[in-house]
Amino acid sequence: MLDWRTFSSAKGNVIYEDPARIGRTLTTNDPPRHDHLRRLIGAGYTPGRVKAHEERIGTLVDDMIASLDLADFDFVSQLAAPLTGKVIGSLIGVPDEALEQLRVAVDEAFIPTEEYPEGKGLKEVFAFMMDLVAHRRGKPRDDMLTAFLHAEDAGVSMSDEEVAVTCGSILAAGFSSTAHQMSNILLALHSNRAVLRQVLDDASLIPAMIEEGLRYDVGTLSFGRQTTREVELHGVIIPADSRVMILLSSANRDERRFAEPDTFDIGRSDRRHISFNVGIHHCLGSSLARLEMRIAFERLLARLGEFEIDLQRSARVHSLNFRGFRKLRVRT
């Protein structure tokens, strides 16, 4: 993952890449274009912009929890997905009334069907974003999309199409990755009652719980790369121009790195997982994801206490890219 010269992202960063993304996003470019894009996107996706949303995240979480029947609810559709969607939508500048339509489009993009064995892709999301880009050109606002439109780095800027595809990709990641990660952590708590009791007794352990949850059961399973030359790894020759898959979930449980890797241990001293990628493609949204998860779990667990998960009425996502749940039924 650190050797981008050998393992290139220029032909896509997932195994079955949407052609509309290739060369138009941060994650589907190598340097030097990647470096320009990272600085351009970083100019809009700032720590200050994320921090300014902390109060809004808390309000959203409180309102959503207040509307739940805690005796029996779906954690994904009633909390994790709408929370992550509204937060990233607000940052980008997507109207609230469009979020549900976009959430469905994102879900369908990564679910294989007979008609679309590799998923439908994000064309519907990108088309929506192109319309929004055109609207923002005439009516700028204080949001990330407008910031991307006006960002420059050494005379380089983003085209309207790059802004639309970048915003669509950020929205999809916000909808999918973080919501799946939250559902995986909740399941890990349910399956490890001693850890659940620890965090119920001491909420200051929640950040450590989140980091271990990211390592233990990551919501983003893999990334794709293309070899630019023949390379040998662990005695295996990989030819040049080969499509390869980087399994984050496997690396995070590497017994050469982590003691008892299959144990959910929030007291683990080494938490250096790779769930947010490493190197030049480290996730720009990692601080936002951590903030959302911390606030959500602090407030939900304080209200929920001990809980059960009804796996018979829950449903997993089936995807090469993501691991999580479409439905996760919680009971108290």
Rounded to two decimals, the pTM is 0.92
Q: Go through the chain and tell me how many residues it has.
A: 332
Residue 21 belongs to some domain of the structure: no
Residue 2 belongs to some domain of the structure: no
Residue 130 belongs to some domain of the structure: yes
Residue 177 belongs to some domain of the structure: yes
Contact status, residue 297 vs residue 210, Cβ threshold 8 Å? yes
Residue 184 belongs to some domain of the structure: yes
Three-state DSSP string of 252-274:
CCCCCCCCCCCCCCCCCCCCCCC
Q: How many distinct structural domains can be found in the chain?
A: 1
Residue with tokens 């979930």: 249
Print pLDDT tens along the chain (332 aa): 789 999 999 998 887 777 888 888 888 999 999 998 899 888 888 888 888 889 999 999 999 999 999 999 999 999 999 999 999 999 999 998 998 889 888 877 766 666 665 556 688 899 999 999 999 999 999 999 999 999 988 888 899 999 999 999 899 888 888 999 999 999 999 999 999 999 999 999 999 999 999 999 999 888 889 999 999 999 999 999 999 999 999 999 999 999 999 999 999 988 889 999 989 999 988 999 999 999 999 999 999 999 999 999 999 987 778 899 999 999 99
Which residue type does 61 have?
V
Alpha-helical (H) ranges within 202-271 are 206-216, 248-251
Q: CA torsion 299→304→76→72, rounded to 10°? A: -150
CATH code, 11: 1.10.630.10
Residue 269 belongs to some domain of the structure: yes
Distances (CA, A) of 143 to 89, 149, 158, 177, 212: 10, 10, 16, 22, 32
Residue 272 belongs to some domain of the structure: yes
Rg (CA), the chain: 20
Residue 215's domain comprises 7-15+29-331
Residue 1 belongs to some domain of the structure: no
